[in-house]
Structure 1
Amino acid sequence: MTLSTLLGRRVIRHGIAWLLVVANISLIIWRDPAHAEEGLRSSAVLLMVAALTIYTHFWLLTHLMERRRYALYALATVATLLAGGALLNLFDEVVQIKVIDPHGQTSSTAYLYGHAVGNILLAVSLSTVARYVRRGIVSHFQMQQLRALQLETELSLLKAQVNQHFLFNTLNNLYGLSLAAPDQMPEALLQLAGLMRYQLDSSRQSTVTVGTEAEYLANYIGLEKLRLRDNTTVEFTADLPHPDQPLAPLLLLPLVENCFKHAIGPGGENTIRIHLTQTDTGLTLHTGNSIPPHFRPAPSGLGLPTLRARLAQFYPGTRHRLAIEASETFYTANLQLVL
């Protein structure tokens, strides 16, 4: 926004405010037609002096108080109020425009001057309150805009982390598959291409549907099963009566990834259970996997921390519940979402 545009908006805003003040004073004056002409003159002088002191005080606020020069600001403000009162008193006594006491009910100079300073103080106080109320409202909306922009940026970063984390894990799986069953690599690469296409498409959207996310999970599980040995049993069920309900994309994948990351051992029976169920208002993902003997988990990566961050963004507070339990032989995770 250019300086001329900013000044133009300020002039229009202040002009509207002064028009409202003038209109209100005019209504009061025309209730007493016998003194209308005198009232118009005195009101015009009062508004002129009030405007001069108000804008002088605005300058003091900007250049002294807001720069923490409090003592100088206090002295300058008192001087401005006294000068404004003196100017009103000058019009009242010298120019004979009865601004302070239009009906001439008192002749005390001290009273008139004190009354004039009081009028100026009231005008300055009201204008200062209006200035900072407006600033507070504007600051509130600006903070909301900044917060929305920050959330959007954080979500973009989280989605990028999800994509990178998924690709890293999948390439590791394909490496293992190339050693164990190289003849299955072409099919695995095709499946990976489909999954990556979905990743790219969903990362541009704020929501997908429960049905498409479940299909994505099924394809991912199919890709993982290509590298598994016969000693691993995988159970996957999806009970989705409302597949068109919206869902944040790629939110369920980290828990499913962990099953295949931690459950696969060279000997013994390995078990992976993944159950996705839906109600009218919620979605539950329950995962469980056996832990091979002598298993030593790798240091925690981005999976669960990123998941928790995304849950806080998309389903804050009581809209989500993530419970994880681990024993020496079995690991379970239960994610509940309020859609």
Structure 2
Amino acid sequence: MNALQKKIGLHLLGWTLYIGYSILGYFLYTWRIEVLLLSLSQCVLHIVQVYVCYLLVFPLWLRYRHWLVLLSGILGTMVLYIILRYLLEQKLFLALFGFSNYSEGTALSYFFFDNIYWALPGIFIGAVVWAFEATIQKERENRSLKQEKVQAELAFLKTQINPHFLYNTLNYLYSLAYPVSDKLADAIIRLSDLMRYMLHESKDGKVELQKEVDYLHNYLEIYRLRFEDNFFVNFNIQGHVNGQRVPSLVLIPFVENALKHGVVDDASAPVTINLQLENDSLYFDVSNRINKNQKDQTTGIGLPNIRRRLELIYPGKYNLDVQEDGQHFKTMLKLQEI
């Protein structure tokens, strides 16, 4: 049984118990059909209320975090309950069974204010159900994150390389390459810088934005070796890079994806990389023409993984938009409060 089936089963069990309790008085104290129908009517209306709150009101409040949204949703649910009860018990029951809940001539104002009280249980039950499931879901996510952290640490330990050995080896290769080829020697130095940056650690997982930009420049220069003069990438920076901090390697996946799956040797359709800094926000977009001859069908950057990382670091403070029309591919990232 999957999670959805289990949830549906628990909801059905809960409503069965609730309806059974609500109509228990019908069997214990009276056999009047009117009481049974009115009890069932209340159950149906409360069920509608619960799912309006559970699926709409409280999720919207969680998304926008504004009490006005919550208050509007609760008041709207009350009004919905009152309208449905009036149509069901005052109109439909009267037409089908010849009776209504409130006596004929009851003022609409009295009906409205009297039913504010009766509307509260459905809202309360909806809040309890939503809060309970939200708590369970949060606990599951926390357990999942802990497991992922443990797995990541194990994977890191399995693949860990002594950085001093790596740097010493690259420096030795540089000393051998320098007399032979300036390009090769420069490429080794840039590769050394890339590896040093990738192995850099900080307490909060962030680095200076300038280092991230330098990493992008080194990456592009190494990639350029494959195409020499037929490598067309425009990297534009607007604003001042002066001490801002960003998560390490947060920008490179978009550039890597554009170079891997895009056209980089056509001067008429260069890969365009734009980095803009405005106040405390960062705007980063990468666009490329899609390479139809690309044989590598791997997804590259893995957008779900990037979104998950951004959600953990910048919850509610980032926007990632992806556009594709079959000919061009573009990613647009905005980070707030960097």
Q: TM-score range by the shorter chain?
A: 0.3 to 0.5
Which fold has the larger relative contact order, with Cα–Cα distance below 8 Å and residues 6 or more apart in sequence?
A: 1
- TM-score normalised by length of structure 1: 0.44
Q: Give the number of the structure whose alpha-carbon radius of gyration is greater.
A: 1
- TM-score normalised by length of structure 2: 0.44
